[in-house]
Amino acid sequence: MLQYEDELIDYKQHAYDTLPYNYTDFQYVAEVPLVITITSPANNSVLNSDYVNVTVTLNRSGTALLNWNGANVSMDGAGTNFHKNKTGLLSGNYSFKVYANDTDGNTNVTVTRTVTVNMSITTDIAANINASGYVNATLDIPTPDDNITVTIPNGTKATKSDGTPISDITTDSSHPLIPQWRQQHQVRI
């Protein structure tokens, strides 16, 4: 058993000197895996916008590919920084993962993440529905560019399946909707 550092050095030199074949020094380089870091959005995050910006970094130069709800989409960027902005989204759950490869052909993929888009807007209509469930004014809900308007005319029965009056309407829109009530005036002759 070796007890001193000098003995260990002598032992190593002796072992090297007595090898039965020519020994050539070599350099061993441990391969560092390609690391993909998703910087946004956080997993299971809830966003109140009609877009999701997926941003990733790599630990060395390469390319990145976004898999969004099962469809592969090229990511913008170069080197170690990549992003993709998914726009025009409606409320719902979306899943994504990122594939990457480097110039040496090493590849990797992230775990699947989920992001929830919530574009729901609730309009309180309780003040304009009577106890029997009838609307007592006309409700117009125009889209921001005025190309579509949802209208609930005065006198419409607005009840739930159990017969109780509804108190609000929820719509899914990428832009804030501004409901407008038009009071019906009765003219007596």
131 and 111 within one domain: no
For residue 22, being part of any structural domain is answered with no
Residue 49 has pLDDT above 90, yes or no: no
Please check whether residues 83 and 103 belong to one and the same domain: yes
User: Any idea which residue has 């419409």 for tokens?
Assistant: 156
DSSP state of 165: B
Beta strand segments in 62-148, E: 62-68, 71-74, 76-78, 81-86, 92-102, 107-109, 113-117, 120-124, 138-142
> What's the structural domain count of the chain?
2
More confident residue, 172 or 155: 155
Report if residue 21 sits inside a domain.
no
Q: In this predicted model, what pLDDT tens digit does every residue of 107-161 receive, in sequence order? A: 999 999 999 998 877 777 777 788 888 888 777 777 666 666 777 777 888 777 7
Same domain, 97 and 57: yes
Which residues span the domain enclosing 112?
36-117
- Do 150 and 97 reside in the same domain of the chain? no
Q: What percent of the chain lies above the pLDDT cut of 90?
A: 39
pLDDT of residue 168 exceeding 80, the answer is no
Residue 50: which CATH number?
A: 2.60.40.10
| Whether pLDDT at 4 is above 70 | no
Judge if pTM exceeds 0.85.
no
